[in-house]
Amino acid sequence: MSASTQAEATTPGAIEAMARAARVAARTLAQSPTVERDKALWAAANALRETRDVILEANAKDLAAYKGSEAFRDRLTLTPERIETMAKGLEDMADLSDPVGRILSEWTRPNGLKIRRVATPIGILGVIYESRPNVGADAAGLCIKSGNAVILRGGSESFHSAQAIHAAMVAGLKAAGLPEAAVQVAPSTDRQHVSDMLQAAGLIDLIIPRGGRSLVERVQNEARIPVLAHAEGLCHTYIHSAAEPQMARRIICNAKMRRPGICGATETLLIDSAIAPSLLPDIVSDLRELGCAFRADARARAIVPDLSAATEADFSTEWLDAILSVAVVDGVDAALEHIAVHGSGHTEAIITSDETVATRFLNGTDSAVVMWNASTQFCDGGEFGFGAEIGIATGRVHARGPVGLEQLTTFRYEVLGTGQVRP
Amino acid sequence: MSASTQAEATTPGAIEAMARAARVAARTLAQSPTVERDKALWAAANALRETRDVILEANAKDLAAYKGSEAFRDRLTLTPERIETMAKGLEDMADLSDPVGRILSEWTRPNGLKIRRVATPIGILGVIYESRPNVGADAAGLCIKSGNAVILRGGSESFHSAQAIHAAMVAGLKAAGLPEAAVQVAPSTDRQHVSDMLQAAGLIDLIIPRGGRSLVERVQNEARIPVLAHAEGLCHTYIHSAAEPQMARRIICNAKMRRPGICGATETLLIDSAIAPSLLPDIVSDLRELGCAFRADARARAIVPDLSAATEADFSTEWLDAILSVAVVDGVDAALEHIAVHGSGHTEAIITSDETVATRFLNGTDSAVVMWNASTQFCDGGEFGFGAEIGIATGRVHARGPVGLEQLTTFRYEVLGTGQVRP
C-alpha cells in the first residue's frame, strides 16, 4: 500500500472517480462475449495460484497487525488450500451458463411491434464485506460473469490481502482484454469510503453487504441506493399434527444442528398441540444428544418440564447457536401468526403429510423461501442449483432468497418495429 | 373530513399505524382468490358511478380552494366523463389475468427437492401523487388486482376528491369481503405524512411517486425504502446512415410531436453525418410545419443555417415541449456515446435498415427501453400490452420501463421435499 494511494483515500470523490471509471468499463463488459468473461475467470484463477506466495505474504501482514478474536482471526487467515478454493470457485463460475442476453419473454403486438425482455447486467455493484478475504474473489468473479462492474470494500483488517487478491482479478481481466476498471477496490481503509459508496446514487446501482448483522443494518440504514441483503435469518420449522414423526425428528435435528451458525438454521420450533405430547419428548432427547439447549414456552414445558423457560424476546432472537426456541401452537393458522409476528422473512418450513395444510402454509407466509418436508438449511445457492451465490436476500423487490447469477442481472425491453408510429 | 381525523394527522405514528393495519390486510389480500379481487374492482367501479355527485361535490370543494395555474386546475378537475373513465379503468383491470400465483420457474434437484418460483404480491405500496385525483383510483385498482395493500397520499389540493374516491374503493373491498385496510389514504394534508412514508422501512415495501420531477427527486432523495419511478425521460432517436428516409421522417415527427409533453417523447435527434445533408432539411421542414422549434449543434446548423444554436445544457434538457435538440454524429458508437453522457436511461430509438448496426445499438444502450424503427412514444404500458400501468421506471433493479401488474409482484421460492435433510 503506497503512501500515495493512502493519500488518495482522503481525496474527496475517490469513490466517485472509481464509479465513473467503472461505468465506462461496465459498458464494455456488458457487451463482451461470454467467452471473454469466462476467459477472465480462468486467467484470474491461474493468477491467484501464481501469486499465491504474494497473497500469503500480504495476508501475513494483515494477521500481524490483527488484534481481534480468534474466530475472527481464523476467518481472516488465508492458506494455500483456501487460495486454491478461491481459484477453483472462479473456474466453476466460468462453467456456468451466461446469465446475460437471455430472452426472458417475447411477444408481438397487433401493430406488428415485436417486444422482448432481455437480461442485462445491472451495471455497477458495490460490495462491502468483512474479514473473509475470499469474498473479494467470489464477488468479483460473480460480477465479471454477470457482466457487472464492481467496487469492493473489504474490512480494514484484511486490507493487504484484499489488494493482493484484487491484483489477481485484474490480471484475469487483462488477459481477456477486458477493462481493468471492471473490478476495483477502495484505495484505503478510510471508513469514509463506505459512506461514499452508500450515498453514491446514480454512480453505484446496487450495494451488497457481506458480513455480520451490524454491518448489514448500518448499510440498510445509510444507503441511498438499493441494498441486497438479509439482516437476520430467524427461520421457523412448524411440525403439523399430520407430520410423519420419524421425518419430523430427522428434519428438525438437521435444520437446527447441522450448522447452527448459518442464516438458514431453524431458530424456533413450532409444534402442533395435537402432536406435541407424543413427539416433543423424542425431539428434545434427539437434540440434547446433539448438544442443543432450549427456550420453551409454558405449554412445551408442561410436556417436557425440564426445558428452560423462554421469554417473549427469545422468540425474536436469532441464536446462530445450539439453542432452539420452542412453542406449542394450535394449528397452521396459529403457526403462521407466530411467524408473521416473529419471523424475519428468510425461510420457514412445515412438516406434514397433509397437502391442503401444506399449501395453506406455503401461501400463508411471505418469507423469501418456504419449504415443505425439508430442512431449512437447504436455503443456499448451491443447494438450489445456482452454482454460486453472492448472498441471501430478504428484501421484497428484485432478488429474494439465495442470489445467484441470474439475479445479478436486470433486463431491458427491446422493441423491434418496421416503421410504426403511435396513433 | 372530520376535525378528529385532521387531529389524527398530527398524531405521531399515524402512518405507522396505517402500515401495520395494511400488513394484516395484505396477508388476507395475498391469499384471496382472483375472483374476490376482481369482484372488488367491479364493485368499486359501481361505487364510483353511484357516488358520482358526492365525488364531484368534494372536487368542487378542492377547486374552490385552489389558487394555482390553469393547466394544473384542469388536471385537478373531475367531470362525469372522467369519473366514468376511472370506473371503466377498474373494470378493465378486472378483465386482466391474475399476476399472483404464476409459477415463474420450476426445477428438481438431484436429491429430489422440487423448487419453484411463484409470483407473490410485494406487500405494501406507498403511492405519493400530485393533482390528478384519478391516480388514486388507478393505483388502488392495480394494487388490489396484484394483491398489494396500498397507502395513498394525494396532493393537498386534491384532498377532498381523494377522500371521496377512496370511499368508493373501500366500498368495493367491502362488497367483495376483502379487508378495508387494503386501501388507505393519508388522514390529512400534513406534509409530515410524506416524510413518514419515505422513512417507513419495514412498514412500507415500495414507494411509487406519481408526479412532476421535483416530487420524484424529493422522494428519491429522502426515501429509505425502494422507489419505483423515473425522474426524467430524456429520450433520443438516432437516425443512422442506412435509415429509410421516409420512415425516418415519419417516426421522428411522431416521436417528438405526437404528444411533446409525455416522458416517452424524443427530446434529442441524433442524425448521422452520412445522411444529415440530404435528410435533415426535410426533417426540419416537416417538424416546423407541426410547430416544432430546434436547438442544434454547429454541424447541424452548417446544413440548416437558420436553426437556433444549442448550448451544451440543451442536450441535457428534457423539454417536454415542442422543442427538439439536434446533433450530428459520426456513426452508431458516437450516438451511443452521446446517449451515455446525456441520456436518462428511459427510452432510445435507432432508425436503420442495417440489422448489424441496429443490434449494436440495442446492446449498446443501458436504457430501460430501446427501439428499432419505431417511435419512442410507444414506451407505454398500454402500447406494450400490459393493459394498465402504474408508471414508468428507470431504476436498474426489479422494474424497468412501463410497470404493469406483473412488476407489482415479487416471488417466493417454494421447496417441496419428501423429508430431505442437508448433508
- The answer, for A362 touching chain B at a CB cutoff of 8 Å, is yes
Tell me, what's the pLDDT at B403?
A: 87
pLDDT tens for each residue of A325-371: 999 999 999 999 999 999 999 999 999 999 999 999 999 988 999 99
d(CA B414, nearest CA chain A) in Å = 5
pLDDT at A6 over 50: no
Tell me, what's the pLDDT at B201?
A: 87
Find residues 111-140 of chain B whose CB sits inside 8 Å of chain A.
Answer: 113, 115, 120, 122-123
Which of A392-401, A412-421, B399-408 has the largest mean confidence? A412-421
At a CB cut-off of 8 Å and minimum separation 6, what does B207 contact? B125, B126, B127, B128, B197, B198, B219, B223, B225, B226, B227, B228
Tell me, what's the pLDDT at A3?
A: 33
Q: Please answer yes or no on whether A251 and B419 come within 8 Å at the CB atom.
A: yes
d(CA A277, nearest CA chain B) in Å = 22
- The answer, for A370 touching chain B at a CB cutoff of 8 Å, is yes
Tell me which residue in A368, A380, A398 faces B398 most closely, judged by beta carbons: A398
- The answer, for B414 touching chain A at a CB cutoff of 8 Å, is yes
pLDDT at A7 over 50: no
Q: Please answer yes or no on whether A422 and B27 come within 8 Å at the CB atom.
A: no
Q: Please answer yes or no on whether B384 and A221 come within 8 Å at the CB atom.
A: no
Q: What's the Cα-to-Cα distance from B326 to each of A407, B80, B268, B289, B300, rounded to whole Å?
A: 38, 43, 6, 17, 7
Element (H, E) at A282: helix A276-289
pLDDT tens for each residue of A241-262: 999 999 999 999 999 999 999 9
- The answer, for B298 touching chain A at a CB cutoff of 8 Å, is no
Nearest CA to B125 out of B180, B203, B195 is that of B203
pTM of the model as a whole: 0.90
How many Å is the maximal CA-CA distance in chain B? 78
Tell me, what's the pLDDT at B7?
A: 35
- Please give chain B's pLDDT, 423 residues, in tens: 233 333 334 456 899 999 999 999 999 999 999 999 999 999 999 999 999 999 999 999 999 999 988 888 999 999 999 999 999 999 999 999 999 999 999 999 999 999 999 999 999 999 999 878 999 999 999 999 999 999 999 999 999 999 999 999 999 999 999 999 999 999 888 889 999 999 998 899 999 999 888 899 999 888 888 899 887 899 999 999 999 999 999 999 999 999 999 999 999 999 999 999 999 999 999 999 999 999 999 999 999 999 999 999 999 999 999 999 999 999 999 999 999 999 999 999 999 999 999 999 999 988 999 999 999 999 998 899 888 788 899 888 888 888 888 888 888 989 999 999 888
Tell me which residue in B109, B378, B396 faces A410 most closely, judged by beta carbons: B396
- The answer, for B407 touching chain A at a CB cutoff of 8 Å, is no
Within 8 A of B416 by CB-CB distance, chain A residues are 371-374
Find residues 318-357 of chain B whose CB sits inside 8 Å of chain A.
Answer: 340
Distance CA A351, CA A209 (A): 33
Distance CA A55, CA A83 (A): 9
Confidence tier at A71 by pLDDT (50, 70, 90): confident
Cell 497487525 identifies what position?
A65
- DSSP secondary structure, B36-90, as one string: HHHHHHHHHHHHHHHTHHHHHHHHHHHHHH--S-HHHHHHH---HHHHHHHHHHH
CATH among 3.40.50.1000, 3.40.630.10, 1.10.10.60, 3.40.309.10 for B235-378:
3.40.309.10
Domain layout of chain A by residue ranges: 11-230+401-416, 235-378
d(CA A5, nearest CA chain B) in Å = 29
Tell me, what's the pLDDT at A101?
A: 93
Count of A-B CB contacts under 8 Å? 201
pLDDT at A115 over 90: yes
Q: What's the Cα-to-Cα distance from B394 to each of A422, B216, B235, B313, B401, rounded to whole Å?
A: 21, 12, 12, 21, 6
Task: Please name the CATH architecture into which domain B11-230+401-416 falls.
Answer: 3-Layer(aba) Sandwich (3.40)
Distance CA B129, CA B131 (A): 7
